[in-house]
Structure 1
């Protein structure tokens, strides 16, 4: 574990971290408690296109560990609720919509959290990789939908412990003076954002339960090396937390950048999945929608829409007719695409990717995708097609 990098290291942008040879792409993980809504789809597609495109010009590692999402009170409180409300339910054949509806119901009701009961759930999830049967069912459905979309997320099918224990990470953060610890008074533990002009952020509650930030720190801080840069992808509703994460990682010597993505409103409302409103727009709904396009056109069309039409800060509501148009345009692009590789076109692609990577430290999916549609479009060669498949 690299936990002793100099804390006074000067911060630099990824684009100008010339010693960096590997880009670690770390999207915010999603609790397996609900269907994949348009905001989730946008995040998956941006991370996928970005990683595949950037890999043409530098080494890229995509970080996804289910335990970053399951070793949280957000997941385990819901699973505790399911066990109390439906102890005999067979979740192996339940639909994701029905599980998601229960998640909405759970958040609509008031519940008294039993910290001791949740500690049992958290310990099982942390030590053994345990996931509630409803969560396992949701992950199985996600995998099938993402496979159909052409997105491979290794962490969804591999279980591994977080890189550092909670005790170790709290100790390391304490040594750096990054925590305000009131546990001896029966109070919470805070990340000390005040040193950077940010609010204090609770990391561990007075009941001993930690929030989702601790598993992220446990996974990422041990990965820090001088030749690595980190790109944190998150929805813009989490910007305050991710600004703080960026500062903490930088204290350990990391080169860090953030990519906040706007939520995708549904019917004009951009809200968390816990409030529902996603019916008819989930990844399962979109992949099963009727149409004449083939699988390749579906994959490319989804990327043209979520990465090319919905830009990073787009406030545009999800529009099914526009997505269908993108799928139709994808089908025409594929019909016109060259079958064989052209050496000059491939060089042109690498040159463009290198230029965009040099500006930000990664290839921006929006700029790349709009280049497919503009008057100066890159030739849709097999190499470029592979980024979108």
Structure 2
């Protein structure tokens, strides 16, 4: 595969709850992959907040908050408390007035507006990810999606990739039947888009010669991302899908909308008492989430094992050699490179766990 630029496009996270172990796993895998692969070639991380906010998943929750707590000062609330309201919203049925939700969607698309509760969640994420050493995702920035919704729908229709019933007051479906895939709703009868439309609005205009999209997502979205892959191919794009398993908490794999994450959020993990410094925390978290937990691992989250990884990280940093060797770093990264062009975070991270002290330039990438 001729590769001039790798565009890493992870599935975005709706800013409606704290970051759970599954989110942390995906973010750390992405962070290691981007930083390591960038040492060998051109890499760009594609993240746009509007791909997460321009959804009914976010806006229906916002309408719920404005209806039941119109006077709450959200700047004083924690992400965990906002997340508890998100769980309650879904437990109560998770439905809102379509017209009100539509007004929120229009406001986001026109100006990038974000509800104060979600701004508070994003601020919390930024602080936690900065402590963790995750590269800037652009959580504090806003930019329009690369193409308008109407332009993207017209382009899909021109290629025969839509079943469009809007003129009858019905929904719009992506049509992947030519590849043996079922129809997938893209726009509802109420005119509200599915999250897939935002992704297509961002990715289709970015298609170019020598550019490959690396689509990073959790395996619960595998069917949608297979369809996205085929849609990009129909526009002349090339993509590679990288799915990872969710991390069970308390022995159960569940969506964050159902709760069960108390005590294991990123905020909880960073607040655990101990003697490790920031570098050991950053390295230990990567050793656990990218080294102990393989990409398709079904292992449950284990706090005690995470703490052991942080302790091991502290010892690794103490005995690391002082001299750096850029040639050694390139050789290590090259050995861990996938045939699709990216450096495999699991292979790279487990390479740190051998008897030979890790090179300082590689440790710096992890801290």
**Under a length normalisation based on structure 2, what TM-score does the superposition of the two structures give?**
0.98
SS of 1:25 mapped into structure 2: strand
Separation in structure 1 between the aligned mates of residue 199 and residue 260 of structure 2, nearest angstrom: 28
Q: Any conservation in 1 of the 2:60–2:94 contact (CA below 8 Å)?
A: no
Following superposition, the deviation at residue 338 of structure 1 comes to: 2.0
Separation in structure 2 between the aligned mates of residue 298 and residue 368 of structure 1, nearest angstrom: 18
- Which of 322, 329, 344 is the equivalent residue of 1:349? 329
**Matching residue of 2:140:** 157
Q: Does 1:196 align with 2:179?
A: yes
Matches within 5 A, 1:282-297: 282-297=265-280
Separation in structure 2 between the aligned mates of residue 291 and residue 274 of structure 1, nearest angstrom: 31
Q: Does 1:40 align with 2:23?
A: yes
**Matching residue of 1:208:** 191
Q: How many residues align?
A: 367
**Matching residue of 1:4:** none
Separation in structure 2 between the aligned mates of residue 161 and residue 340 of structure 1, nearest angstrom: 45
Following superposition, the deviation at residue 185 of structure 1 comes to: 1.4
**Matching residue of 1:49:** 32
Separation in structure 1 between the aligned mates of residue 194 and residue 322 of structure 2, nearest angstrom: 50
SS of 1:34 mapped into structure 2: coil
Q: Deviations over 1:124-162 (max 9, x none)?
A: 111101000000000000000000000123321211110
Separation in structure 1 between the aligned mates of residue 361 and residue 236 of structure 2, nearest angstrom: 35
- Which of 269, 272, 284 is the equivalent residue of 2:255? 272
Q: Any conservation in 2 of the 1:115–1:208 contact (CA below 8 Å)?
A: no
Question: Which deviates further from its counterpart, 379-388 or 160-169?
Answer: 379-388
Following superposition, the deviation at residue 59 of structure 1 comes to: 0.7
SS of 2:213 mapped into structure 1: strand
Matches within 5 A, 1:114-129: 114-129=97-112
Change in 2 beyond 3 A, CA 1:245/1:380: same
Q: Deviations over 1:213-232 (max 9, x none)?
A: 00000011111111211100
Q: Any conservation in 2 of the 1:25–1:63 contact (CA below 8 Å)?
A: yes
Following superposition, the deviation at residue 112 of structure 1 comes to: 4.1
**Under a length normalisation based on structure 1, what TM-score does the superposition of the two structures give?**
0.92
Separation in structure 2 between the aligned mates of residue 383 and residue 33 of structure 1, nearest angstrom: 37
Q: Does 1:373 align with 2:353?
A: yes
- Which of 218, 227, 239 is the equivalent residue of 1:235? 218
SS of 2:138 mapped into structure 1: helix
SS of 2:85 mapped into structure 1: helix
Pairwise CA RMSD: 1.1
- Which of 361, 364, 368 is the equivalent residue of 2:344? 364
Q: Any conservation in 1 of the 2:295–2:346 contact (CA below 8 Å)?
A: yes
Q: Deviations over 1:26-76 (max 9, x none)?
A: 110000000000000000000000001111111110011000000111000
Following superposition, the deviation at residue 122 of structure 1 comes to: 0.4
Q: Any conservation in 1 of the 2:152–2:201 contact (CA below 8 Å)?
A: yes
- Which of 363, 382, 388 is the equivalent residue of 2:360? 382
Q: Does 1:166 align with 2:149?
A: yes
Q: Any conservation in 2 of the 1:66–1:159 contact (CA below 8 Å)?
A: yes
Following superposition, the deviation at residue 111 of structure 1 comes to: 4.8
Q: Deviations over 1:274-321 (max 9, x none)?
A: 000000000000001111111100000000000000100110100000
Separation in structure 2 between the aligned mates of residue 197 and residue 191 of structure 1, nearest angstrom: 13
Structure 1 runs of 4+ with >6 Å offset: none
Separation in structure 1 between the aligned mates of residue 122 and residue 345 of structure 2, nearest angstrom: 26
**Matching residue of 1:13:** none
Following superposition, the deviation at residue 347 of structure 1 comes to: 1.4
Separation in structure 2 between the aligned mates of residue 45 and residue 235 of structure 1, nearest angstrom: 13
